[in-house]
Amino acid sequence: MENLIPITTEYIRPSRSIDILHLVKSASILPIYIYNYEGLHFHYFDSLIRLIQFFESGQEPNRSFCSEQELDDFLEDLR
């Protein structure tokens, strides 16, 4: 069974947040990090290290989306 479980939302500013989700696949749990920039751009990271590198050195995210629908479609495909 595969599920996407929301864990928490951390607000950097009122219009910027980081959503932490767990993707449960079989016997493993994979953390997922989504940076929401003002509801206009969404960046997907597959590890906390990549998320930190994005903020510290501008490293590109694993994936970027220009709408919430694109992000939702991508997350649905991960399941």
Domain boundaries, the chain: 2-78
Distance CA(68)–CA(65), nearest Å, equals 7
Distance CA(67)–CA(58), nearest Å, equals 21
Q: Tens digit of pLDDT for each residue in 23-55?
A: 988 788 999 999 999 999 999 999 999 999 999
pTM of the model: 0.88
